[in-house]
Structure 1
């Protein structure tokens, strides 16, 4: 099968997430990097492209030059999609321009800064017909997809309560000072990160994980945001209560100042007839504790899992898969959708399984409502 061609905006020298995206895209051999505008200065952009083996005529100083060059090329030479892995403030202008040009887009999260920007992207994508994916990668884990399938099958009954937590400790000190850590610098800068800190960076992941697994729709929330490190301009800790349509309740807790924690994302879903418990740091297992029987530990790669979990699995049980594979599964969903459109066919929802623009827009609304609630004496805020 012919590999799709993609370009990358951002993700050059010293960037953590760009390398993860490229490794994920290389994993299944379905896409190849052919063009890029990989950094914020022409010198670093060109140096980054040379390191990755880009041809000189497709190694661009900025994303505008990249887009202009692609549109001048014959259709059979153009990229099939662009991957946007820049700091948050560039997501909207880059995604808008490429989608307006009719090109398919994959954008890192959080999608954009405002719901108005998200709505404009939705209008553009509806007109252009572009595929638009958002890399909430945790939904790509096989056992997260198994949890979703168990909820949908009624294995835990009606959901009563959801608890999601995401604890990191890497920002427990003012790491952004001194300029040595690019990730800390832009993620704590309101001009580049947006109005939210930990809430936007990892809280958006937690919200998406809940929505992906449970299908619940948030109705109201009550948020408490904090900034513990002196001099930091954005929140580094967030706690909130959630109320879902239908009566279920939820608790969401995220922090980037939890000293000693690494990437402690955990989801528990409590239903009328059972509970599900998944931890990102042990992603190959899922605990299912039924009301009327002993708990069972489900393992990735087992033959009795759901079709969606099996499709997201590459290795036999007992051979660990993780973070990059989850990213790769998101990209496989986008690629399946693009291939279906290229063949004039409807996408198979089991294969074209990825977070969409609508998921990204909901994540932006979640951030806005949490900020509104945190600043309000009313506290409970409609979603």
Structure 2
């Protein structure tokens, strides 16, 4: 691994090759701050496509691999100071566990897309591996990287809203309003396939984002939930619509909706947090605005990049106010946090929490438990206790 010097970190990517939307998003986000460079890859599930994708991105043959096993073997043969500093996993969910576990157990820092894995036992094994090896493990719940989400987090946790009473989070999309998976669409095909996506469809794909957003902003732990999951497109094997009632520690109540069959909607993620003193509202499609409804004064609209925001929100912005920032920059903020943690650990010190601000393997493990609990609740048609994962 690299020493804590001024050079850029090196990362390897698994998945995300030719024609893969999310792989390009991750690479663009990483490149935004110039902190790391792509140094190795196994960029597709088929050897020929993997090598072709690597060559297209300029990887030299010695660092361009037909599969992740070959990449791991090659990296372990290199001197420790010449190995990649992190491994980024952007494959479909069914391959997350074997890949992430192999690299974590080998001592590599890992960044994995969400949902983390299929089952909580797998998530627990990853948590144990990270605990044993002491590496960095980030999970790309990218919406927590938005500046105004970090502003909302600070306002909630500093008491600006008083005691939290009600949380409503909705993630509505329309792209799966028809049986798109029958047309050969790659993204729809694996997301609606239980063998690849796991036990949940919309709940896992976007509901896990919604759960993480609530946890990140409020810091509240879910104690109980009751879920109603459905497959509204005929013939679909996994849920495409989920409605969940939540009870939090401390007495707050919540509603979580995750649906991909809202025809005409695009990426409508929205959060509302209400306390004794006021309410905050945020929408992902207008991410640079946070609305503060005050019980004792006029409504305020806070905007990204302004000097009166909290430090975490100011750090998360890159350009002056009035210039839109969004999806790529939010991803970049997650990676900036991961890389800051890697640098700090290599220097033998703890990272500043404002620098190392990113979702961890514990967040990923909690998301898997949330999916399992909601699926079980829907099947049993009753409230279930939600068990939080043990921290590292």
TM-score by length of 2: 0.97
Cα-Cα RMSD: 0.6
Aligned positions of 1:31-180 closer than 5 A:
31-179=36-184
Question: Are 2:318 and 1:325 aligned?
Answer: no
- Does 160-169 or 9-18 show the bigger shift? 9-18
How far off is 1:76 after superposition?
Answer: 1.9
Aligned to 1:307: 311
Distance in 2 of aligned mates of 1:198 and 1:16: 18
CA distance in 1: counterparts of 2:228 and 2:178, whole angstroms: 21
Runs of 4+ in structure 1 deviating by more than 4 angstroms, as ranges, are none
Over residues 259-281 of structure 1, what are the superposed CA-to-partner deviations in whole Å (9 max), with x where a residue is unaligned?
A: 00000000000000000000000
1:11-36, CA deviations, whole angstroms, 9 ceiling, x for partnerless residues? 01121111100000000000000100
CA–CA separation in structure 1 for the residues paired with 2:350 and 2:202:
38
Partner of 2:3: none
* 1:74 shift after superposition: 1.4
Match of 1:184 in 2: 188
Instruction: Determine if the alignment matches structure 1 residue 280 to structure 2 residue 284.
Output: yes
Structure-2 residue corresponding to 1:5:
10
1:233 aligns with 237
Q: CA deviation at 1:9?
A: 0.4
Inter-partner Cα distance in structure 2 for 1:76 and 1:36: 18
Distance 2:128 2:46 in 1: 31
2:299 maps to: 295
Deviations 1:316-338 (A, max 9, x none): 10011000000000000000000
Q: How does 1:237-276 map to 2 (within 5 A)?
A: 237-276=241-280
2: distance between equivalents of 1:37 and 1:278? 37
The SS at the match of 1:254 is strand
Deviations, residues 329-355 of structure 1 (Å, cap 9, x unaligned):
000000000000111111111100000
Count of equivalent residues? 381
Q: What displacement does 1:178 show? A: 3.0
SS of equivalent to 1:176: helix
Which residue does 2:200 correspond to in 1?
A: 196
Q: Which runs of 5+ in 1 are unaligned?
A: none
